[in-house]
Amino acid sequence: MNALAATNRNFKLAARLLGLDSKLEKSLLIPFREIKVECTIPKDDGTLASFVGFRVQHDNARGPMKGGIRYHPEVDPDEVNALAQLMTWKTAVANIPYGGAKGGIGCDPGELSISELERLTRVFTQKIHDLIGVHTDVPAPDMGTNPQTMAWILDEYSKFHGYSPAVVTGKPTDLGGSLGRDAATGRGVLFATEALLHEHGKSIAGQRFVIQGFGNVGSWAAQLISENGGKVVAASDITGAVKNSKGLDIPSLLKHVKENRGVKGFHGGDPIDPSSILVEDCDILIPAALGGVINRENANDIKAKFIIEAANHPTDPEADEILAKKGVVILPDIFANSGGVTVSYFEWVQNIQGFMWDEEKVNHELKTYMTKGFKDVKAMCKTHNCDLRMGAFTLGVNRVARATVLRGWEA
């Protein structure tokens, strides 16, 4: 099922549980604005290359729209739409004063030089600068983008509107980025996992984890899990996968990935087929790469008892049903990976206040938000007698619906 169909399906199930009025349901589902722009740049060799960029602004009932920008060959309008909608529910689950948006450019960042990436980012920003803004729509990094990408957006935007650090989050700390933002999504995954395990009378220590994706989110999650006594028994990225049933030495793997641009060739474990990573034996599976990877083809073979969705939309609804029958507990993306956007909110607040928090305060506040988020999701599970995904969806959709009704529709 495509990402948008799957996301719409989950939204509609939640709307039904909440008994939402059908007209309100329709209004919440249709995006506020969809932007599609052509971005042509001269390549380093002088030839031209054209790319398509998207920004979908899904909803702003609770505040400025917020969400990352993805550079990946598979970026398409439906996927960006789905990811923007997920951001609306995610910011509401986290209870931060934002709506939802997402952007992307269909490109392979690994095939572009640094200067080509800079030109592409600046052209994209020129095309959307009048539709984003500190109190309108605030981009951040996602797959294939990073603090440097945010610095270029900030610089290009500022040429039109004056210096505006709060127009993006996840920027370098030298430009007003928040301490702790780089690790925030992975740290949020740790706090979310701790909250879930606590409820099952368990802790991170001694659990065996498998992590798909070893970029920003996957590598930080791995590092923090291993620092807290968890055993990462397998990890993968686009270059390959590696397994060690005694637990991978994460600091060595991080060093290897930095030096070799991937997990492939790491000697602290055995190479395995990357396509089998999700069905490796473990207690807890953390997908931290692409969407739709857990589906009806592999759901029956998954051995984990818990799945923590660090990636956005990693689990297809068909897989959800299969896994529920197997008794696998899934902590859904719109809660599990909300640590990133929560610390983005802290960054925006710091920029607006012109005051920088220390990292201890950032991490402490993040833990408070993640712990409260888990309690709020569980309360909705109890009210609606539903699983954690529907608990999170009903929580997010209900908060957005309430804000929408309060603001009204008078022209």
Ligand X SMILES: NC(=O)C1=CN([C@@H]2O[C@H](COP(=O)(O)OP(=O)(O)OC[C@H]3O[C@@H](n4cnc5c(N)ncnc54)[C@H](OP(=O)(O)O)[C@@H]3O)[C@@H](O)[C@H]2O)C=CC1
Ligand Y SMILES: O=C(O)CCC(=O)C(=O)O
The footprint of ligand Y on residues 89-118 (CB under 6 A) is 90
Rounded CA separation 296/315 (Å): 9
Helices and strands (H, E) in the chain, number of each type: 13, 12
- 85 scored as a contact of ligand Y (CB under 6 A): no
Binding mask 205-224 for ligand X (x = CB under 6 A): -------xxxxxxx------
Dist CA 186 CA 254 (whole Å): 14
99, 401 contact by CB (below 8 A): no
Q: At closest approach, how far in Å is the CB of 338 from ligand X?
A: 7
290, interface contact from ligand X, ligand Y, none, CB < 5-8 Å by kind: ligand X
The DSSP secondary structure of 177-217, one letter per residue, reads PPTTHHHHHHHHHHHHHHHHHHHTT--STT-EEEEE--SHH
C-beta of 175 vs 272, nearer to ligand Y: 175
- The reply on whether position 144 binds ligand Y by CB under 6 A is no
Which x/- pattern, by CB under 6 A, does the window 243-272 give for ligand X? -------------------x----------
The listed partner (ligand Y, ligand X, none) that binds 67, CB under 5 to 8 Å by sort, is: ligand Y
Which residues are within 8 A (CB) of 214 and not within 5 positions of it... i.e. 6 or more apart?
222, 235, 236, 237, 253, 257, 262, 263, 288
Residue 50 counted as an annotated binding residue: no
Residue 340, interface with ligand Y (CB under 6 A)?
A: yes
CA distance 108 to 402: 40
The answer to whether 291 contacts ligand Y (rule: CB under 6 A) is: no
Q: Which does 149 bind (CB under 5 to 8 A by kind): ligand X, ligand Y, none?
A: none
Q: What does the per-residue mask of binding to ligand X show for 159-188, with x meaning CB under 6 A? A: --------------------------x---
Q: Interface with ligand X includes 310 (CB under 6 A)?
A: yes
Is 102 annotated in the active site? Answer: yes
Query: Rounded to the nearest 5 degrees, what angle is found at the Cα of 290, between the Cα atoms of 287 and 296?
Result: 75
- In DSSP terms, 53 is beta-bridged to 37, 105
Catalytically annotated residues: 102
Interface positions with ligand X (CB under 6 A): 141-144, 185, 212-218, 236-239, 262, 274, 288-290, 310-312, 337, 340
Query: Annotated binding site for substrate, which residues?
Result: 66, 90, 344
Query: Annotated binding site, which residues?
Result: 66, 90, 185, 216, 344
